[in-house]
Amino acid sequence: GSEYSCETISQNGKHDLLAITTKYTTSEPHYIEIGHYEPSVLSENIILKIKDVLFRAFDLLGLENGAFHSEIIIDDKDEVFIIEIGARMGGDCIGSDLVYISTGYDYMKMVIDVACGNDVECNRGKNGKNEYAIIRFIMSEEDDIMLRAFEIQHPEWLYRKYHEVSTVGGKICSSVDRFGYYIFSMKSKSDFDVAREYLFAKSVR
């Protein structure tokens, strides 16, 4: 099936689903993440099913407070399968950036509030953000050229970029071998569709 991740916040046993991330990975044997985007563009029925599966799992595991990053697979019959649940925000700039861009939720503030015993505010778009977010990692010299060209074509969509090394090249066997990333943010669904098609045209789901 297709892989997604879910960002949630819990306080005193009450769970809130903040965002679902669509994930792209390389093929076997490493399945390294190429990029992500939010929102996931899943149907409302699937989102409700994801909430039910995850929240029941949280309760069974006794997870009551904090951020939880859940990896899931959805098969062609729309069945939801949990891969893992981590007691943390999502990495790869998901928790720190993509959630904020796509929802307006300040996820890091929520985590701090839970730790301090402050009431968590779940007010979507409170901070003026409610857009579309994409992160695309530099996996090769070809990716580097493609992303530089995309930035030139659409500079208004660039949110942040980072090059891990000055020279791109070599074999990538894990996430730490990637050469950097670009984060893009769009205000409209049509722009989001254009960006997704361009940035993930040859990527594996």
DSSP structure class, residue 204:
B
Report the pLDDT averaged over residues 106-127: 85
pLDDT value at residue 88: 96
Is 164's pLDDT higher than 90? Answer: no
Q: How far is CA 55 from the centre of its chain?
A: 19
CA 9/CA 65 separation, integer angstroms: 7
Would you tell me how many other CB atoms lie within 10 Å of the CB of residue 125? 12
Q: Which segment of 25-29, 65-69, 116-120 scores lowest on mean pLDDT? A: 25-29
Reported as a single tens digit per residue, the pLDDT across 98-116 is 999 999 999 999 999 999 9
pTM across the whole model: 0.93
Amino acid type, 111: V
Report the pLDDT averaged over residues 173-197: 95
pLDDT value at residue 124: 62
| Mean pLDDT computed over every residue of the chain | 93
Q: Residues 146, 171, 200, 29: what is their CA dihedral angle, to the nearest 10 degrees?
A: 170
Q: Are 89 and 108 in contact (CB under 8 A)?
A: yes
Residue 82 or residue 165, greater confidence: 82
CA 189/CA 4 separation, integer angstroms: 20
Would you tell me how many other CB atoms lie within 10 Å of the CB of residue 154? 15
Would you tell me how many other CB atoms lie within 10 Å of the CB of residue 101? 22
CA 67/CA 86 separation, integer angstroms: 8
Q: Are 53 and 80 in contact (CB under 8 A)?
A: yes
CA 99/CA 94 separation, integer angstroms: 6
